[in-house]
């Protein structure tokens, strides 16, 4: 059963969008293996802990028929790293911030690309950051990135 944790800075925009987009894709997946996926999201920072999904992100999900009701921000822990099979980051800053969460030897392994951490857009073959709507205000660009990344990841995991 693949266990995926999507991670961004505050866990109020990009990572919850990825969490709920992937959950939606899995709920519509005809492959019986999709029933075994476990999906969640978290932050690298403590800034938004306990806050709900940012209203424009919530509206973007809702405009596509996806609810994120009840989701509140939480910070990633070492236990999360140990539990999840895939730690999927939204940008390179998230990787830098993992240095405060992971032991040095694990962090160094991940920075060298020898672990379970990836960027979401790596799954598309286009290694770049997911557009951050907190700064850009462009939730459509983020929606497009998240959908492309989740779709590519799901296809690769089912191969």
Contact criterion met (CB below 8 Å) for 126 and 118: no
Q: Is 8 a catalytic residue?
A: yes
State the Cα angle at 78 between 91 and 73, rounded to 5°: 60
List the catalytic residue out of 13, 58, 68, 132: 132
Closest CA to 57 of 27, 26, 21, 16: 16
Active-site entry in 8, 13, 68, 150: 8
Q: In whole angstroms, give the CA distance from residue 49 to residue 26.
A: 27
Q: Is 132 marked active-site?
A: yes
Active-site residue identified among 14, 58, 68, 150: 14
Instruction: Decide: 91 and 121 in contact? Cβ < 8 Å.
Output: no
Q: How far is CA 69 from the centre of its chain?
A: 17
State the catalytic residues. 8, 14, 132
């Amino acid at each position: 059963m693949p266990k995926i944790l999507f991670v961004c800075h505050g866990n109020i925009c990009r990572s919850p969008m990825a969490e709920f987009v992937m959950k939606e894709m899995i709920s519509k997946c005809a492959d019986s293996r999709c029933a075994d996926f476990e999906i969640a999201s978290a932050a690298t920072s403590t800034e938004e802990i306990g806050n709900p999904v940012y209203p424009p992100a919530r509206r973007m999900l809702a405009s596509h028929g996806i609810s994120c009701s009840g989701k509140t921000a939480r910070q990633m822990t070492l236990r999360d790293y140990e539990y999840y099979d895939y730690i999927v980051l939204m940008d390179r800053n998230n990787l830098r911030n993992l240095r405060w969460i992971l032991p040095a030897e694990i962090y160094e392994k991940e920075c060298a690309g020898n672990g379970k951490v990836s960027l979401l857009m790596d799954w598309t073959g286009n290694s770049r950051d997911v557009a951050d709507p907190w700064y850009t205000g462009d939730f459509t660009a983020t929606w497009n990135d998240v959908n492309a990344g989740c779709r590519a990841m799901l296809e690769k995991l089912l191969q």
